[in-house]
Amino acid sequence: MLDWLSPEAATALMLSLRVSLVATLASLPVGVLVAYALARGRFVGHGLLNGLVHLPLILPPVVTGYLLLLTFGRQGWIGASLWDWFGFTFAFRWTGAALAAAVMAFPLLVRAIRLAIEAVDPKLEEAASTLGASRLVVFGTVTLPLILPGIIAGAVLAFAKAMGEFGATITFVANIPGETQTLPTAIYAFLQVPGGDGAALRLVAVSVAVAMAALALSEWLARRVARRIAGR
C-alpha cells in the first residue's frame, strides 16, 4: 500500500503515527486528572497549574523545544538523572519526539476535557455521594461516562496536533531519519534537497489523508457516544 512512497517517507509516516499515538495515550490519564483538578478543584496554585498547562500554546514551539532540551536533554536537570539511574534518555530518540508532541498537544487535550467536566451538573456528583459513593466511585460511575465524548474529542485533537508538531520536535530531538524524522520534519527535509518536491508532495497528500481519517473517526465515535447518552 505504501510502495508509491519512498522507504524514507514510509518510515516517517509510520514513525509519526507511533509518536502521535503514544503521545496521546500516555498524556490522556494525566490530562483527565489535570482537567478534573482545574474544573472542580479549589486549591492554592490553581492559577499556576492552569498557566503552566497553557504555556506551550502561547510560547513559540522552538522555545518549548529548547526548554525540553534543557530539562530532558542528556545534560538536563531531569534528563541527566534519568540517564544516570535508568540509562534512559529522551534526547534524539523517538520517545523524545513523543514527549515533545505530548507537551505541545496537552493544552488542547486538557481544554476539551475540562469543558466536558464543567458541563456536568455537580448536583449529579453530589447525589451519587449522598447515596454512598466515594469520590473515586462517583468519578468512575457518574462523571467519566458523561465526559467520554469530551475525552474522545480532546484525544483526537491532541493526536492531530501531535501529527503536525514541528518546531518543538526538531529543536528537541532534531531530524534523524528512522528515529526522530516525523511527517512534518520529513517534508521539511525533502524540501531542502533539490528534486525533493515530488516526495514532499506525496507526504503532504498522506498528511491530509491521515488528518481526514482522524476527523472521520472522531465524528463516528462522538455520534456513537451521543446515541448511547441519549439512551437509544
Contacts to other proteins from residues 110-139, by CB under 8 A: 121, 123-124, 126-134, 137
Task: Compare residues 10 and 146 and give the one whose CB is closer to other proteins.
Answer: 146
Q: Is 145 in the site for other proteins (CB under 8 A)?
A: yes
Buried b (16+ CB within 10 A) or exposed e, 120-156: beeeebeebeeeebeeeebbeebbeebbbbbbbbbbb
141 near other proteins, rule: CB under 8 A: yes
Question: Binding-site residue total for other proteins (CB under 8 A)?
Answer: 21
Minimum CB distance to other proteins, residue 36 (Å): 18
- Check: CB of residue 102 under 8 Å from CB of residue 26: yes
Residue of the chain from 10, 21, 146, 174 that contacts other proteins (CB under 8 A): 146
Residue 89 in contact with other proteins, rule: CB under 8 A: no
DSSP characters for 111-130?
HHHHHHHHTS-HHHHHHHHH
Cell of 201: 508532495
* Nearer to other proteins among residue 115 and residue 144 (C-beta): 144
In the bound state with other proteins, the residue whose beta carbon lies nearer, of 125 and 165, is: 125
Residue 48: count other Cβ atoms within 10 Å of its Cβ.
9
Identify which of residues 134 and 192 has a Cβ nearer to other proteins in the complex: 134
d(CA 35, CA 116): 9
**Distance in angstroms (rounded) separating the CA atoms of residues 100 and 84:** 22
- CB nearer to other proteins: give 223 or 228: 228
- Asked if 181 contacts 165 with a C-beta cutoff of 8 angstroms, the reply is no
Unique residue bearing C-alpha cell 490553581 = 46
Contact between 228 and other proteins by CB under 8 A: the answer reads yes
Is residue 229 within the footprint of other proteins (CB under 8 A)? yes
Minimum gap (Å) between residue 123 Cβ and other proteins: 4
Q: What do you get for the CA distance between the two ends of the chain, in Å?
A: 39
Binding test (CB under 8 A) with other proteins, winner from 1, 44, 48, 230? 230
Q: For binding to other proteins (CB under 8 A), which residues are involved?
A: 121, 123-124, 126-134, 137, 141-142, 145-146, 228-231
